[in-house]
Structure 1
């Protein structure tokens, strides 16, 4: 490890707007592909060294709003806070090791008494930064925080620099996840001649989360791309409230990334003298290679973030839910599914919801929370008989859990104290006949620890699918300044619980289902193994979800469902399997009922996935046709690997189609499905413009391998 002292900025390196007379008191520190700038008269800011577009000296990295002081200049945006403008660097420490370069910068505000300690980490092999800050009350009076920006970044150098910038963001909802859209910034922030007025703007544009579903309305990540290809991408790493804010100044734009806020999430946090608050971590990445380049940068960063997560064997998982048992498993139904999954080559068999519910109940929604097997559901031999059969067939066993909820009709609802649940205005929060647990309470952790220990030790469970099917709203006021404060504290306690569970049971693999990706953020994905990308049961609607998911989720974590059915044609069977192959193949369906040709196709897909999964863990995504629209007839995802490009192409139009995948060239091979013997199928040709594709009549999908020359 080496220490490097910050150096005074050279006169020649200063932007034109800087005061050269203060060169000896203006400092910079190199961290990866970025520089940290500060001076005696300006707070800490971040600038990308190779870009004139990403970062601007003088735009403070950290903004702090309190109940006593909000902005130093009136605005609706989250920048130029009164506290933030007064922050001054008091000390810094720069280190490097084999995995990352790291800077720790301490700033203080003499008026409020607040101290901000920011850790800026640049993982090696990436063009990304991770920014983590702790705010401490070093004064003598209590301070109430109402918003803390995790990172604030200048964009461009002049107002006109925004004219060619595009904002990429993704709407998301149950069954329609990851719907990316690119919008010119000038449609969000019109040119209002700020230099003429001699003032900065007061408006803003942005996206914000809703309640406890961090990705239930918008994804907690996005990007900005300029016309020449310079790009900045970001992600906010929290399962609680978050907000991304874009505003404009006389000198360009400002991107502010925040965790929960007072205005958007009913958040405030009181700091007594000596107390600290940890802001939500964020990551930013920069690239000169536009959208695909900057998302590749975030992809490499996400792998670095998960470097300590064990068990990356990427097993093929079969789950009995989707278009199959739908939460009503029985021994009679499960045994043939187990045999069918084993014959197809699955390595994990996960029994989904309902294993804990007496079938006489019917709708078990309001009864969850005990997490003990329903003996009446499984008859002689009980659940152990079913799980033993999974093990006899050579597969690991898994179960579904929804650990953060207790149904109003569950015995646990009466047994656990009121303090163990989310509360508002002195009463438990109820959402759709369910209460929400607070993982800060020891009784909650004890209850769930006992549950997991029992399942692992009694049944030999090695896989847990964790669901999250309610959104409890703003949060909990118990043991918190506000409801949003309580929600943030709960989500951090839940993440900590996940880590500790895996420390006790290192062979356990955890899926972050979250109602089909309603809480797919890297606070959770950094400590779990798989993310179900959707609950979408219509195989024709799944391709745009599967193709877009790697923009926000690592390819090796994208659990894409493939659910072949005996009612499907051979082409439809291949279609749903291509969806599964485009990430982590996640099987479902009554496989034992398939026609012989369909079973062969499933086995072919599983064998291909096993052959490719080693490369999946190093792949970076790209989109030759752009991130797909929801109703796009043709959808394409590319994954760059060490041996070439994998292309997953879906044609959803019944009529034959012809299109070109630009900038794709090399030797092309169809990996799946196997070429038809009658000579029909798709026609592929490499041209100067790219890969030319002509599809046959009817819907179809292919997995292609392009070996670059």
Structure 2
């Protein structure tokens, strides 16, 4: 049972009127001299303002906090740094000092096709170390600039106390803009302790500043923090529970649906009626519930970047009946239709951009982008246009939109009519306006699933994701690298909201124009190894089936159908379970046998994937997995696939799995005895 511990002292970090120009965050005297006048309300010493700390308790003991600065004085205030939360006094208890090999830092790198890359190291290796007798100006700093909020890091830091066997967690729920997490030391010589800054309001990060007139106030984005007994897994479990409570969208029936999307390792945004009909037939046979036509369904002159944004159906591509006819074909096969959009982007040659140049995003008076620009969601014309697109798609029968976001705005934007408004602050206004329109559409159409995709997961901070039904995990195309991405991202997001590409019969993007189905292509996957590996990945999140499954033989189609049946049978468990990492996390470059599970304490079940991420070479392999930290004795309920060479047995808490060769995978259902 996970036990939540008392968290460090929660205060605030504020810098006013450029009075502090330190390059590090530890203390500046403002919080230290403030007076508490009510619960969560602190008055600044000089009477210039007040700080209000709004806290919300979440399941499992985590805390959600926002910080509000109120100008109670009679002159304007200029703030250049304001924490969403500032936690102090970490390491003040215990026998060992913070720098005495006591703490471990856990954080996740993120990149296009390389999301969820966790690293585990000492604070010193991460950049925080004691110097001598003065304040250490070193720190562990995670940060992001622009609207790809997770292009470099995920906004989450875990700090494991190996002496007291507990782990602190700190996360910024920024909502798709820049943010900063900084782990520092405060104090002199042997009296120093650790502190953590969480926030999106920091001039040193992206130029953010704020001017408040007398009587005005400003509230930060939320921060999420807490402390749990145990290590990495226990912290991830607590965060998973907290984020489920914070999610604004409820999946259909409370469980992840089974989707087919025609993009990845399949049509690569070149759909036609002739290509789609066989894929629909195969997806329906497997048991898909949604069929999503990715990019390529909307009218263009040939330059997507310049033409996108009007979202008019390209009927000529789809024969008699046009796009509506294709959507009707999907419905006729018992699936719900979906399409791809990128609502925040607009081509400079689109009708909307030509009619509304004032509704684009600008920086320094110039349109941001060249052919492919951005709509300004603070503008009523933009909101009306995009709402109209969703209204029209809904009337056409579309019930799923994959909303992509393939470029970042950058450091800041202009505000029409308010040239002095800070660019980073204005970018936050725009980002909040995007999410508010998503909320409006989801409220109007409760059965309309909107997916967040941003070149994979380049905007996957939970402050943004909580407004959507799910988050695409990656644009990773290699099925052997997929397990690293999806397991790492599932430590950041609830696993039932992590969209996982499962692509049997993959066709690389290099061949998207030249590919033609053939008996030779089908025969290349006859043993089912690639199909099983992909389906096992899909079973561990929200499955996006793709690949040229229209080329599959009967044997492989049956393997897909078996996995789909397992997926539907166990998805209530997936929606309750927490991620477990019996062998730690997996690097993208890892070529090893790797176990990862979804543990549901309520039912006593463990859904375990075991992948070999090495290149296949015909060599059988066997691995043993220690499950004793979850329960002392286990039984095996099911193994997928039920094929020669795939076996599993358990003795007490030791699971032995055999795979027919490297590059294979298996899925094992276990129960606690």
TM-score of the two chains, using structure 1 as the length reference: 0.85
**Compared CA separation, residues 693 and 582, structure 1 to 2 (3 A):** same
2: CA distance, partners of 1:372 / 1:649? 44
2: CA distance, partners of 1:33 / 1:646? 23
2: CA distance, partners of 1:117 / 1:662? 48
For 1:139, the equivalent position in structure 2 comes to 73
Give the number of the structure with larger relative contact order, counting CA–CA contacts within 8 Å between residues 6 or more apart. 2
Residue ranges of structure 1 left out of the alignment (5+ in a row): 1-31, 35-47, 93-104
What is the DSSP-based 3-state SS (H/G/I as helix, E as strand, rest coil) of the residue aligned with 1:161?
Answer: coil
For 2:279, the equivalent position in structure 1 comes to 337
For 1:538, the equivalent position in structure 2 comes to 478
2:538 corresponds, among 552, 559, 580, to: 580
**Compared CA separation, residues 140 and 181, structure 1 to 2 (3 A):** same
2: CA distance, partners of 1:203 / 1:139? 35
2:51 corresponds, among 103, 116, 121, to: 116
For 2:646, the equivalent position in structure 1 comes to 681
**Worse-matched range after superposition: 113-122 or 472-481:** 472-481
* 1:489 pairs with 2:448: no
Deviations 1:598-632 (A, max 9, x none): 10011111111000101111111110010112222
1:631 corresponds, among 589, 608, 611, to: 589
Aligned length: 631
2: CA distance, partners of 1:422 / 1:83? 36
**How far did 1:169 drift?**
0.8
**Worse-matched range after superposition: 662-671 or 227-236:** 662-671
1:421-500 equivalence runs, <5 A: 421-430=360-369, 433-457=371-395, 459-478=396-415, 479=418, 481-500=421-440
**Worse-matched range after superposition: 147-156 or 310-319:** 310-319
CA contact (8 A) 2:633 2:652 kept: no
What is the DSSP-based 3-state SS (H/G/I as helix, E as strand, rest coil) of the residue aligned with 1:176?
Answer: coil
CA contact (8 A) 1:152 1:254 kept: yes
For 2:147, the equivalent position in structure 1 comes to 212
Deviations 1:102-159 (A, max 9, x none): xxx1112142622221111112x41200001221211111112212111111221178
For 1:37, the equivalent position in structure 2 comes to none
2: CA distance, partners of 1:132 / 1:333? 50
* 1:253 pairs with 2:194: yes
1:185-584 equivalence runs, <5 A: 185-189=123-127, 191-192=129-130, 197=133, 199-228=134-163, 229-238=165-174, 239-249=176-186, 250-306=191-247, 309=250, 311=252, 312-358=254-300, 361-418=301-358, 420-430=359-369, 433-457=371-395, 459-478=396-415, 479=418, 481-565=421-505, 566=522, 567-568=524-525, 569-584=527-542
What is the DSSP-based 3-state SS (H/G/I as helix, E as strand, rest coil) of the residue aligned with 2:98?
Answer: helix
**How far did 1:316 drift?**
0.7
1:659 corresponds, among 588, 603, 623, to: 623
Q: CA RMSD in A?
A: 2.1
**How far did 1:584 drift?**
1.0
2: CA distance, partners of 1:296 / 1:616? 13
**How far did 1:683 drift?**
4.5
What is the DSSP-based 3-state SS (H/G/I as helix, E as strand, rest coil) of the residue aligned with 1:219?
Answer: strand
For 1:68, the equivalent position in structure 2 comes to 18
For 1:157, the equivalent position in structure 2 comes to 92
**How far did 1:503 drift?**
1.3
Deviations 1:554-573 (A, max 9, x none): 11101100011144341111
CA contact (8 A) 2:107 2:118 kept: yes
2:558 corresponds, among 578, 583, 600, to: 600
**How far did 1:539 drift?**
1.1
1: CA distance, partners of 2:251 / 2:577? 19
**Worse-matched range after superposition: 155-164 or 470-479:** 155-164
TM-score of the two chains, using structure 2 as the length reference: 0.90
1: CA distance, partners of 2:649 / 2:145? 45
Residue ranges of structure 2 left out of the alignment (5+ in a row): 506-521
